[in-house]
Chains A and B, each alone.
Chain A
Amino acid sequence: KQEVTQIPAALSVPEGENLVLNCSFTDSAIYNLQWFRQDPGKGLTSLLLIQSSQREQTSGRLNASLDKSSGRSTLYIAASQPGDSATYLCAALGHSGGGADGLTFGKGTHLIIQP
């Protein structure tokens, strides 16, 4: 059974810093890995999707990497802003059900950017 772990569980940094959020997964047989953002009381917003054949994806100040062999992904946020404050979720799409198993989620990193 796939397990996804996110470290740290919470992080508070001053505005302007670059930061890295970590995600690890136990089963390397994945179709893809997706990073989401969730604001309090809101739904999930997809940030980046990395297919299993890719090493990284970039969108604006965000960069996500994937190392299947070690079971790790990182989300890099450059020049953090107070508006980046949210919970960030990492989720892996399993391979066993032909891509239809659904995502296995980590419990998230609660990020606070101090003005």
Chain B
Amino acid sequence: NAGVTQTPKFRVLKTGQSMTLLCAQDMNHEYMYWYRQDPGMGLRLIHYSVGEGTTAKGEVPDGYNVSRLKKQNFLLGLESAAPSQTSVYFCASSYPSREQFFGPGTRLTVL
């Protein structure tokens, strides 16, 4: 089992560009999450999903959109990247109210 995988691992964008981060899990988990990690701020929840076709906002959702068309995939989109979105992005998945498993992260730099 690969667990939780994320693509890409690294990305550099210019301000205003768009991109999509892909998260995939092979554990048949219902819940999936996107977090961002910033120095001094810790990890914060961006969006989450409790099942295929459903998404909800977390603590810091502005500037991001998400979609969950398939149970195993959770996409995070940046429509118009800003330097404030420079961060490390982590995806996680779990069964309801159970242990969360994290992917290796995507390092994004917005110039």
Q: How many residues of A are counted as interface, with CB atoms below 8 angstroms from the partner's CB atoms? A: 24
Nearest CB of chain A from residue B45's CB, rounded to whole Å: 4
**A32 / chain B contacts, CB cutoff of 8 Å:** 97-99
**B77 / chain A contacts, CB cutoff of 8 Å:** none
Partner of A34, one of B42, B48, B100, B105: B100
* Main DSSP-derived SS at the A contact region: strand
Report A's interface with B, CB cutoff 8 A: 31-32, 34, 36, 42-46, 49, 89, 91, 93, 98-108
- The verdict on A99 contacting B90 (CB below 8 Å), with A43-B102, A44-B102, A105-B43 known, is no
Nearest residue, chain A, Cβ from B45:
A102
Tell me the B82-108 residues at the A interface (CB within 8 Å).
90, 92, 96-105
Q: How many residues of B are counted as interface, with CB atoms below 8 angstroms from the partner's CB atoms? A: 26
Partner of A100, one of B44, B48, B92: B48
Report B's interface with A, CB cutoff 8 A: 31, 33, 35, 40-45, 48, 50, 56, 58-59, 90, 92, 96-105
**A43 / chain B contacts, CB cutoff of 8 Å:** 90, 102-105
Interface centre among B31, B50, B97, B104 (most CB of A within 10 A): B97
* B58 and A102 within 8 A (CB): yes
Q: How far is the CA of A93 from the CA of B98 in the complex (A)?
A: 9
- The verdict on A101 contacting B101 (CB below 8 Å), with A43-B90, A107-B40 known, is no
**A31 / chain B contacts, CB cutoff of 8 Å:** 97
